[in-house]
Amino acid sequence: MSRAIQEFYRDNPLMVSSPFGGVSGINEELFAHVIAALKLPLQGAHILDVGCGRGYVGQIVQSYGGRYTGVDFLANGTGFPLAVGDAAHLPFRDASFDGVFCIDAFEHIPDGVAAAREFRRVLRDRGFMFLSAPNYGNVAGLVKWWCETLGYASKNTWAPFRRWQPQELEKLLTIRAVQSIYRQGGFARFHRIGHAPEAGLGLFPWIDHPRMPEAIQFRLQRLFSALGPVIVRVCPGASLHQFWKFEV
């Protein structure tokens, strides 16, 4: 993990953007929905959370009867076991965990294939991997490519949230790219769902443009809030985030 990424997210903790929260609170309702939809077996499972931040997922895992360990390049303890380490070189033995979580950190990992192989290495047989990551196989991805190609944003920095504030490393992930990476990492089966509230950001990223008037932004948010479930049901890839379950 590069020092620039460590320093950026240490100095800008609010830039860690996730639909699950983690800085100002936890979206427990969304967690419950995703755990049920993907059938994540947490009861009695030992879960490793890669890119755990402050370890906020620990209380969710614990509430489902699981055991939690977090790892990140910065240590900010919250009462759960947290280790300092790099996703591509995890400081754990082979087959140490029943499940691995990587929640909105994978796009910031320079070598995704190496990380996926590490996730597979530390998983026990019949283990699973839960991934939440942005998807740029939509209009937001076209805008990202256009802005970075034409120099309006530096490569791997543009993102459509937080008023288009640049990230230190925001890779252009797509559904196809994620599937390819995890196949190379040793995972054979996958299931994914979209995130209806973010259909607006995926299809019309200007909704959070810094020059978008708040009155119009509010109306667009209400429109996509109503249409989002239908859009994502028909085309899950329309939403900005995708939630994945990978199995070996």
Q: Supply the CATH number for residue 192's domain.
A: 3.40.50.150
pLDDT surpassing 80 at residue 198 = yes
Q: How many domains does the chain have?
A: 1
In a domain, 153, yes or no: no
How far apart, in whole angstroms, are the C-alpha atoms of residue 16 and residue 8?
A: 10
For range 151-157, the mean pLDDT: 95
Average pLDDT, the chain: 91
- Is 226 contained in some domain? no
Range of the domain at 93: 3-135+171-197+237-247
For residue 54, name the pLDDT band (cuts at 50, 70, 90): confident
Instruction: Give 102-132 pLDDT, tens digit per residue.
Output: 999 999 999 999 999 999 999 999 999 999 9
Residue 229 covered by a domain: no
Any domain includes 122: yes
Q: Is residue 219 part of a domain?
A: no
Q: Given this model, what pLDDT does residue 15 score?
A: 44
High-pLDDT (> 70) share of the chain, % = 90
Task: Determine the Cα–Cα distance for residues 171 and 159; give it in Å rounded to an integer.
Answer: 9
Any domain includes 111: yes
pLDDT band, very low/low/confident/very high, at 208 (cuts 50, 70, 90): very high
The reply to whether 151 falls in a domain is no
DSSP summary character for residue 141: H
- What's the predicted TM-score (pTM) here? 0.91
71 within domain boundaries: yes
